[in-house]
Amino acid sequence: MTRKKKAYARAGVDVDLGNRLKRQIQSLMKETHGPRVLGKVGGFGGLFQARFPGMREPVLVASIDGVGTKLKIAFALDKHDTVGADLVNHCVNDIAVLGARPLFFIDYIGCERLKRRVFQELLRGISRACRSAGCALLGGETAQLPRMYRPGEYDLAACIVGVVERGKIVDGKKIRPGDAILGLASNGLHTNGYSLARKILFGKMQLNVSSRLPGSANTVGKELLRVHKNYQPLLAKIPNHMIKGLAHITGGGLVDNLPRILPPSCDAVIETKSWKVPRIFQILQQNGNIGFREMYQVFNMGIGMVAVVAEQNAGRAMSILRAKRIGRIERGSGKTVLEL
């Protein structure tokens, strides 16, 4: 048995190291657990008690996602805790747009070769973000896949499950012409558009992660590793009846994400001059020679979450959400219209 384990480790899969690291991160997982998490850490499946006091008709909401090529920045800086938090926050936002609060989270890490420090940083970031979101880190899978990835690289993905009262699902069906569109500020690129951003910054502009971003005190690496915001705590503060629709502005930007919640007879008219577009997006547009509409289709342009509310509720909603009015709903055909 000893000889077999050593041979497997020489082939690139260190089972013993994996087992030791999994035991060491049990405390990080337990910090996210509440009384509804049952069973021990490290089982074949995680157990979560389906008990929802005060809810008449609870509906489970599930979503799955990854961090994309933002991981390339983490590799270059050898900093891995922030992408762990990105993974959690992105997934939380994806179910929050339906009015759901998170229950539990399960991650997947596929790596070329397991490295103790990298693994611990990833799990610390994931655990910290789960605690902040009130979400149990229920389990996960770590796969050592030699020669599947480049040396020192890995991939991240995760599944999240949340719950919402059936009568409080936010689905956009009540959106009408005259409603106000509110934008919640992003914290940079979040987790999309990195393939194009890297091509411009590192290819065309010949910068690296340690270079100063033009016109900024930040390095390129620090700017690109800004953590994806979790909007769910803010959204939970606003009365459910006030929100007609929510859109998480990720891949596809404002152009493609808003139509996902629009009735077929409505357009979302975005007043692009109603907020100041962060410097990083200006740099990318100018140096990448990217068209106006494509910028709003690839990047979030400084808006990470959009809420649609009735005009009479706009003032109160902006105050609670710390949001700006960025547009309006008009009669149309279910598309985003960018107004200069």
Q: Which fold has domain 2-168?
A: 60s Ribosomal Protein L30; Chain: A; (3.30.1330)
Q: How far apart are CA 144 and CA 107, in angstroms?
A: 14
pLDDT, residue 299, reads 98
Domain 2-168 matches domain 180-339 at the CATH topology level:
no
Pairing of strands 136-144, 101-111: parallel
Burial 329-339 (b: 16+ CB within 10 A, else e): beebeeebebe
Q: Could you write out the three-class secondary structure of 266-279?
A: EEEEEECCCCCCCH
Cβ–Cβ under 8 Å, residues 262 and 270: no
Span 86-113, pLDDT tens digits? 999 999 999 999 999 999 999 999 999 9
pLDDT, residue 16, reads 83
Give percent of the chain above pLDDT 90: 86
State how far the alpha carbon of 306 is from the alpha carbons of 29, 248, 300, 325, in Å: 32, 7, 11, 10
pLDDT, residue 23, reads 79
Q: How confident is the model at residue 1 (pLDDT cuts 50, 70, 90)?
A: very low
What integer best gives the mean pLDDT of the chain? 94
Q: How confident is the model at residue 4 (pLDDT cuts 50, 70, 90)?
A: low
Average pLDDT over residues 129-135: 97
Q: How far apart are CA 161 and CA 178, in angstroms?
A: 34
Cβ–Cβ under 8 Å, residues 270 and 327: yes
Cβ–Cβ under 8 Å, residues 186 and 302: yes
CATH no. of 180-339: 3.90.650.10
Average pLDDT over residues 147-155: 92
Average pLDDT over residues 307-330: 98
Q: How confident is the model at residue 5 (pLDDT cuts 50, 70, 90)?
A: low
- Report which DSSP code applies to 203: I
* Domain positions in the chain: 2-168, 180-339
Using CB atoms within 10 A of its CB, is residue 253 exposed (0-12), middle (13-18) or buried (19+)?
A: buried
DSSP 35-76: TTEES-TTSSS-EE----TT-SSEEEEEEEEE-GGGHHHHHH
Span 180-227, pLDDT tens digits? 999 999 999 999 999 999 999 999 999 999 999 998 889 999 999 999
